[in-house]
């Protein structure tokens, strides 16, 4: 095949580095933006954190020595708290609590184990996850011990060491599954009542039926009354399905700390919207590098050969800093513009937080109002929160699809979810409502909805199927 060369004209869209940077900054919530700004300050030498107010910049010409010479106050009185000259400020060392693994290793230290068994036991403890479960089979643990510690250990001996770990606190630690976890917790308690013995029997011999809530079959098989069975179920519910959460001295904080991106106040019928930028530092370009570059450029605009590389380096850093500062300002304007339109669209909801007042709203509605692209609106509302007088709200949760009623009126899916939640809350727990029955109830109320949509909304609300909601 002969090699040929030809000219082709085509139209394509490409993103500049500045646009890519802006898109990435737009997606970041307040906490990650603070980290990103500090990272940029570390990487770009010409970018500084502007910590001084503008009024203080005029006073920087007066040196501290000149100021002290004009004051008749003795020097020892100007020291804070009258510290002596030889007194040094010592750092305050803060220590966290022990982790779950450290707590278990400490307990293993009190057991009479050989150094070899202790090392293997500590390796098993290291394989326990934050929920307190050992989710690996013993053969894999045996292979890892041989590879990492150089110790050949049989599966049977690992089971013996795991049995010792099962005796540690908190109860249920190191279990392979939920059934074993509950049995370990029951074994740590005294079986001093018929209710506890019945609960232990249910978990040990009838766990599958208990999980599937086949309560009538269990009552008949065990030969107990409904009251006795109900008391045994309550005893089982007192156990923890995640024993790792029972230890909290230095454990993982399962509750995420949310920093809202917007603050919305409502007072005397007026809204006040602001962007949360408290921890985000103000940025400025260090004038020292600008003056340095200008000093290396001649009056006619030429640069000496020896200074050309330095000038190009400083210029690239200054341009990068300008782009970053501009992207931060553009992010601020885009976020405020979008949030203002969301506020106008959902004004009735933001007055008191009643979800029934949420209007159907999709990303395109806000995109049409702001003149921005739908993808930009999606990036703005992703992982962003607004703090209101009735709580902190995830922006993405304000968007909902519209549903048509028999009269042709558009209602939010939140309204249907509220009705669905109320129906399930008021149902007879002995005979919970199926998705088919819930569909008929909603259709009778004028909401045209299919059974699969009911199942979808029920799952979004975190409500299990009717069989798993059954109670005695």
Check whether 71 has a pLDDT greater than 50: no
Q: Do the beta carbons of residue 391 and residue 353 sit within 8 Å? A: yes
pLDDT in tens, 208-260: 888 888 888 888 888 889 888 889 888 888 888 888 877 765 544 444 577 88
Residue-wise pLDDT tens digits, 380-429: 888 889 999 888 888 888 887 767 666 666 677 777 888 888 888 888 88
Is residue 345's pLDDT more than 50? yes
CB-based burial, 98-120: b 16+ in 10 Å, e otherwise? eebbebbbebbeeeebeeebbbb
Category of 340 on φ-ψ map: left (φ > 0), alpha (ψ -120 to 50) or beta: alpha
Rg of the chain (C-alpha set)? 33
pLDDT number for residue 366: 92
Residue 359 pLDDT level (bands cut at 50, 70, 90): confident
Lowest mean pLDDT, pick from 53-57, 269-273, 284-288: 53-57
Distance CA 279, CA 35 (A): 10
Mean pLDDT for all residues in the chain: 80
In this structure, which topology does domain 402-469 adopt according to CATH? Arc Repressor Mutant, subunit A (1.10.10)
Question: What is the reported pLDDT for 383?
Answer: 84
Least confident among 91-100, 336-345, 418-427, 443-452? 91-100
Least confident of 65-74, 92-101, 221-230: 65-74
CATH 1.10.10.60 in the chain, residues? 402-469
CB atoms within 10 A of CB 335: 20
Q: Residue 341: is its pLDDT beyond 90?
A: yes
Q: Would you state the pLDDT for residue 340?
A: 93
DSSP secondary structure string for all residues of 309-337: HHHHHHHHHHHHHHHHHHHHHHHHHHHHH
Average pLDDT rounded to a whole number, residues 156-179: 91
Q: Give the largest Cα separation in the chain, rounded.
A: 103
């Amino acid at each position: 095949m002969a090699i040929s060369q030809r000219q082709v004209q085509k139209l394509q869209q490409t993103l500049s580095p500045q646009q890519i940077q802006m898109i990435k900054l737009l997606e970041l919530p307040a906490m990650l933006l603070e980290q990103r700004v500090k990272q940029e300050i570390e990487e770009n030498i010409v970018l500084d954190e502007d910590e001084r107010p503008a009024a203080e910049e005029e006073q920087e010409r007066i040196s501290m020595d000149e100021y002290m010479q004009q004051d008749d106050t003795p020097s020892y009185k100007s020291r804070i708290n009258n510290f002596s000259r030889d007194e040094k400020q010592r750092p305050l060392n803060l220590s966290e609590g022990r982790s779950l693994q450290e707590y278990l290793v400490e307990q293993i230290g009190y057991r009479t184990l050989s150094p070899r068994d202790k090392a293997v036991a500590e390796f098993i403890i290291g394989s326990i996850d934050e929920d307190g479960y050992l989710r690996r089979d013993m053969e894999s643990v045996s292979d890892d011990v041989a590879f990492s510690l150089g110790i050949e250990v049989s599966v049977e001996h690992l089971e013996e060491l795991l049995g010792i770990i099962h005796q540690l606190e908190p109860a249920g630690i190191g279990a392979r599954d939920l059934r074993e976890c509950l049995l370990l917790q029951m074994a740590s308690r005294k079986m001093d009542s018929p209710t506890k013995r019945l609960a232990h029997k249910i978990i040990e011999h009838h766990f599958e039926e208990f999980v599937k809530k086949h309560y009538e079959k269990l009552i008949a098989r065990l030969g107990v009354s409904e009251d006795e069975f109900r008391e045994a179920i309550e005893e089982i519910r007192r156990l923890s399905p995640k024993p790792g959460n029972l230890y909290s001295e230095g454990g993982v904080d399962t509750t995420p700390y949310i920093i809202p991106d917007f603050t919305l106040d409502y007072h005397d019928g007026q809204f006040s919207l602001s962007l949360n930028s408290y921890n985000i530092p103000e940025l400025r370009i260090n004038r020292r590098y600008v003056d340095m570059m200008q000093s290396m450029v001649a009056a006619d605009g030429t640069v000496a050969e020896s200074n050309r590389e330095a000038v190009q380096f400083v210029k690239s850093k200054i341009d990068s800093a300008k782009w970053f500062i501009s992207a931060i300002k553009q992010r601020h304007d885009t976020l405020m513009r979008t949030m203002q339109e969301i506020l106008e669209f959902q004004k009735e909801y933001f007055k008191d937080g009643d979800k029934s007042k949420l209007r159907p709203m999709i990303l395109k509605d806000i995109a049409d109002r702001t003149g921005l692209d739908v993808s930009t609106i999606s990036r703005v509302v992703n992982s962003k929160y607004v703090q209101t007088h009735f709580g902190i709200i995830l922006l993405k949760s304000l968007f909902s699809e519209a549903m048509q009623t028999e009269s042709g009126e558009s209602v939010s899916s939140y309204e249907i979810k509220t009705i669905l939640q109320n129906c399930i809350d008021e149902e007879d727990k002995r005979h919970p409502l199926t998705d088919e029955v819930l569909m008929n109830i909603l259709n009778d109320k004028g909401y045209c909805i299919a059974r699969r949509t009911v199942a979808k909304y029920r799952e979004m609300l975190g409500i299990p199927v009717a069989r798993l909601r059954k109670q005695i």
